[in-house]
A and B are shown apart, each in its own frame.
Chain A
């Protein structure tokens, strides 16, 4: 249930939040087109929307190929970061002695801006895909690990007791009880960790790389080709939105146990 403090009288003329969001988005797009055209913003800083889209369409092969390169690196990094993070978090979260060592360590490391270490990564791995994959994996790993660890700790003890009374094996306990019970928190960990993986890959490509969407943005920037820079930015924004939609889809599929706060109690 959401808290609504607006007066009942206002209910009749209330505008739907979805409508407001759509209007805001439309406003930004119109401003993007009108302000540079009217000369209020130099088109070197902000080329009109139509010009940006034109650059995207006429170079679609270029953008498509570099996007695929980035997507492949993102896919591998997510597999490493979220896979290791979630499995590690499940194990570390359910074993007290490991958790006591891992948790302060991981949260301490989380505060380090890893991007300062990227030059080292290129020295170790070269400027090929290995460097950015290694960088983005570590970048996304920590929030996945920390989120899952915290998720396992908040699992209702009763779920474990029930499984013990049914003589579940250790493996069944993990796969049939701990993992599904942790899924809501694992998903929010994935949302943060996965977004950081995308940031990590794009930033790494912008710093030192010869391919990928981040590299493309940097290359056009040095050429002062603003429409193509903004076209690259649009591609990255679309990528992040697509990832967010994917997480939302997964969250919808798990709504039954996010609705139950404790022992199947209803919150609706």
Chain B
């Protein structure tokens, strides 16, 4: 809790705890007798503190891959290591998860939603209240602690979700199309918010999206996937300087990045 605030400007690149490795991952599923290969030969190495975006056409299994990395879904074959340990079940101390829908509990206030993971662990009220307030402050929601989800805007709800994902201080944060349901202005400012939070906390961030612009704007590295079966077809190091700004979207380099991703996935998107 406190260690996040000590280095507000410097990127705190933690030890191996933030590393993610995927080895020989494959996934098949069975629908009424027909076997479908959803993911094949996925190999990934993500260094601690990196911002990695997984992008691909709909149905490429990018969300499934993320759900497997969180430990929520078991792959048919292969292993996933987070912080060097196999990810066989969800572990909020190692990986915080933010879902596409705000997925906050409507019967809890913003504060109580963020405290919820801690209360499941039986952490005393005063400690979890302080930690939750701390995280709500990190996402810029001081003063909104007592609001219920229906009293918050879409962007605010996702901020609460991010605070909830970070409250146990996992070295890794995984987000599944977190801004997909937001309007464009909110989506861009939420991207900036997430980058700021990432800079302040030094977490490893794995971010799934179908938006090419979002991928190029946020990422250190972009993983491009193809559909049926889902495979990794490209890895792109994004050399745009940080901090990223809105004006960069108009630069030739940004256009090149978007075009490179588009060229990889357009054949599938048109199918």
Contacts and interface: CB of A to CB of B under 8 A. Distances in A.
Interface of A: 158-159, 161-169, 172, 176-177, 180-181, 183, 254, 256-257, 259-260, 262-268
A165 B150 contact: no
Contacts, number: 80
Given A162-B97, A259-B106, 19 more contacts: A159-B103, A164-B90, A166-B90, A167-B91, A172-B120, A177-B105, A181-B107, A254-B107, A256-B106, A256-B150, A259-B150, A260-B149, A263-B104, A264-B102, A264-B104, A264-B105, A264-B106, A264-B157, A268-B150
21 contacts: A163-B120, A164-B72, A164-B90, A165-B70, A166-B90, A166-B92, A167-B91, A169-B120, A181-B105, A256-B148, A257-B105, A257-B107, A259-B150, A260-B149, A263-B106, A264-B150, A265-B102, A265-B150, A266-B149, A266-B150, A267-B150
Interface in B95-122: 97, 99, 101-107, 116-117, 119-120
A257 B72 CA distance: 26
A158 to B, nearest CB: 5
Report, as a range, how many residues of chain B touch the other chain.
20 to 34
B106 A260 contact: yes
Contact of B106 (A162, A166, A257): A257
A168 B107 contact: no
Contacts of B151: 266
The 10 closest A-B pairs by CB, nearest first: A264-B149, A260-B106, A257-B106, A263-B101, A257-B107, A266-B150, A256-B148, A264-B104, A165-B97, A158-B103
Contacts of B106: 256-257, 259-260, 263-264
A161 B107 contact: no
B28 to A, nearest CB: 22
A100 to B, nearest CB: 19
Contacts of B91: 167
A164 B92 CA distance: 10
B90 A167 contact: yes
A258 B79 CA distance: 42
A254 B107 CA distance: 7
Nearest to A162: B103
A259 B92 CA distance: 29
Interface of B: 70-72, 89-92, 97, 99, 101-107, 116-117, 119-120, 148-152, 157
Q: B-side binding surface: helix, strand, loop or mixed?
A: loop
Contacts of A172: 120
A267 B97 CA distance: 26
Contacts of B99: 158, 161-162
A181 B107 CA distance: 8
A161 B105 CA distance: 12
A264 B155 CA distance: 12
Q: Which residue of B90, B92, B104, B106 has the most chain A CB atoms within 10 A of its CB atom?
A: B106
A176 B105 CA distance: 10
Contacts of B103: 158-159, 161-162, 263-264
A260 B105 CA distance: 9
A158 B102 CA distance: 9
Given A166-B90, A167-B92, A180 B105 contact: yes
Most buried by A among B70, B71, B151: B151
Indicate the member of B90, B104, B105, B151 with the most A CB atoms within 10 Å.
Answer: B105
B148 A158 contact: no
Contacts of A267: 150
B214 to A, nearest CB: 21
Contact of B92 (A165, A254, A264, A268): A165
Nearest to A263: B101
Contacts of B107: 180-181, 183, 254, 256-257
Nearest to B89: A167
A180 B72 CA distance: 23
Contacts of B102: 263-265
Given A256-B107, A256-B148, A165 B101 contact: no
A254 B150 CA distance: 13
A184 to B, nearest CB: 9
A260 B120 contact: no
Nearest to B97: A165
Given A167-B92, A256-B150, A161 B72 contact: yes
A176 B120 contact: yes
A7 to B, nearest CB: 31
A68 B120 CA distance: 43
A166 to B, nearest CB: 5
Contacts of A268: 150
